[in-house]
């Protein structure tokens, strides 16, 4: 049905080899005259290249696959924008796959559709790969790199913020405003990222001479619901004067639940969010945040894929962005 270079060759009266070279613009290999003939034939037939066939013989592809976990996280789009920008610079194309939220079956499906085709590399956006799927990935010979997630024991390539610092700085920002009883809401302790944030948080308190109570840390999965649940656990009579939300969503969950409990933000309760996506300036009051540089993470990700370095574990910078959800506390 669709035209192939064979059809073009016939129509232009040359060989397929010549057609291929003209179309690939390997300029040393053909004359102007044949080139015009070939181009004319190509447009006449409405030729569409079959890249899959080409990739089969060249054994090399120019598409980067991005695997995203589909939790209701919202920073993905920022990372993807970074990825796209850098990829396009180098004439690479980007495809995105959703792997379910920690669902090994869906993860496998996404991984498979990508591994079975020629892709130049795989970027995994904060996906906690099930062990069997990690094996699959590693066995596939395709370069890969994790983004916005880190690992403990395993030696895996990843690019992320310093999560310990994230926890530390968020907490410290509150301490500097005079807060001393500070919660941490919606953080996950099953994975390295979450554990690091808790450690940073704890250390910041200790450095200020504060001993955190166990109930100050409410675990969760970074979601809006996790934030709400955490705030409900703290309760309207909480001794806390400030809370670090484990993500923007969690922070919003905390804030909305606090309001439902009759607490005003920041008058009664200060909040610092972690992530710093546009969500923070959408809500009211706007959330002060420890912001990650997701865009740069994306850029670094494709650079890593393009380089041959074996084990990069790059750290991208963070910064505190003051908005409206923290108030200065008078000395008690």
Peptide bond into 285 cis (omega under 30): yes
Select 14 or 145, whichever has its Cβ closest to DNA. 14
**109 part of the interface to a copy of itself, by CB under 8 A:** yes
Taking the CA of residue 216 as centre, how many other CA atoms within 13 Å lie in the half-sphere pointing to its CB? 21
Residues found near DNA in the complex (CB under 7 A): 2, 4-6, 9, 13-21, 23-24, 26, 28-31, 33-34, 47-50, 53-54, 56-59
Select 141 or 310, whichever has its Cβ closest to a copy of itself. 141
Residue 117 interacting partner from DNA, a copy of itself, none (CB closer than 5 to 8 Å by kind): a copy of itself
**15 part of the interface to a copy of itself, by CB under 8 A:** no
- DSSP conformation class of 223: S
CB of 209 to a copy of itself, least distance (A): 36
**Best CA proximity match to 273, nearest among 213, 281, 205:** 281
Sequence-distant (6+) residues with CB within 8 A of 249 are: 72, 73, 74, 186, 222, 223, 224, 226, 227, 279
The residue from 77, 89, 189, 307 that contacts a copy of itself (CB under 8 A) is 77
Q: Around Cβ 330, how many Cβ atoms within 10 Å? A: 6
**Best CA proximity match to 196, nearest among 159, 167, 226, 161:** 167
Q: Quick one: which segment of 52-60, 146-154, 233-241, 307-315 binds a copy of itself (CB under 8 A)?
A: 52-60
Contact in structure between 57 and 5 (CB atoms under 8 Å): no
CB of 94 to DNA, least distance (A): 21
The residue from 41, 80, 127, 230 that contacts a copy of itself (CB under 8 A) is 80
**297 part of the interface to a copy of itself, by CB under 8 A:** no
CA distance 319 to 297: 14
Contact in structure between 285 and 269 (CB atoms under 8 Å): no
How far is C-alpha 40 from the geometric centre of its chain's CA atoms?
45
Residue 311 interacting partner from a copy of itself, DNA, none (CB closer than 5 to 8 Å by kind): none
In the stretch 201-240, what mask flags binding to a copy of itself with x, by CB under 8 A?
-----------------------x----------------
**Best CA proximity match to 72, nearest among 192, 207, 227:** 227
Where along the sequence are the contacts to a copy of itself (CB under 8 A)?
1-2, 46, 48-53, 55-56, 63, 70, 72, 74, 77, 80-81, 84, 88, 93-98, 109-110, 113, 115-118, 139-141, 224, 252, 256, 259, 278-279, 282-284
């Amino acid at each position: 049905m669709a035209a192939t270079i064979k059809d073009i060759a016939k129509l232009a009266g040359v060989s397929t080899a010549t057609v291929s070279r003209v179309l690939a613009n390997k300029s040393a290999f053909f004359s102007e005259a044949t080139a015009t003939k070939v181009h004319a034939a190509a447009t006449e037939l409405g030729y569409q290249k079959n890249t899959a066939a080409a990739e089969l013989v060249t054994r090399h592809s120019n598409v980067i696959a991005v695997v995203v976990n589909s939790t209701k996280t919202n920073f993905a789009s920022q990372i993807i924008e970074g990825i796209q920008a850098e990829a396009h610079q180098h004439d690479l194309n980007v495809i995105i796959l959703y792997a379910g939220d920690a669902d090994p079956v869906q993860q496998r499906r996404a991984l498979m559709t990508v591994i079975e085709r020629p892709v130049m590399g795989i970027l995994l956006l904060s996906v906690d790969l099930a062990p069997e799927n990690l094996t699959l990935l590693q066995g596939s010979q395709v370069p890969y790199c994790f983004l916005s997630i880190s690992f403990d024991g395993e030696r895996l390539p990843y690019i992320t913020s310093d999560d310990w610092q994230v926890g530390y700085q968020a907490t410290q920002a509150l301490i500097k405003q005079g807060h001393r009883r500070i919660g941490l809401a919606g953080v996950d302790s099953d994975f390295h990222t979450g554990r690091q944030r808790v450690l940073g948080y704890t250390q910041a308190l200790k450095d200020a001479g504060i001993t955190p109570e166990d109930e100050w840390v409410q675990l969760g999965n970074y979601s809006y619901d996790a934030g709400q649940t955490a705030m409900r656990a703290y309760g309207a009579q909480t001794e806390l004067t400030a809370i670090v939300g484990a993500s923007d969503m969690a922070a919003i969950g905390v804030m909305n639940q606090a309001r439902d409990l009759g607490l005003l933000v920041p008058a009664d309760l200060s909040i610092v969010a972690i992530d710093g996506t546009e969500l923070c300036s959408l809500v009211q009051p706007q959330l002060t945040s420890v912001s990650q540089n997701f865009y740069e993470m994306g850029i670094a990700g494709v650079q890593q894929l393009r380089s041959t370095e074996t084990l990069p574990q790059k750290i991208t910078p963070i910064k505190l962005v003051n908005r409206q959800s923290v108030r200065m506390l008078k000395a008690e």
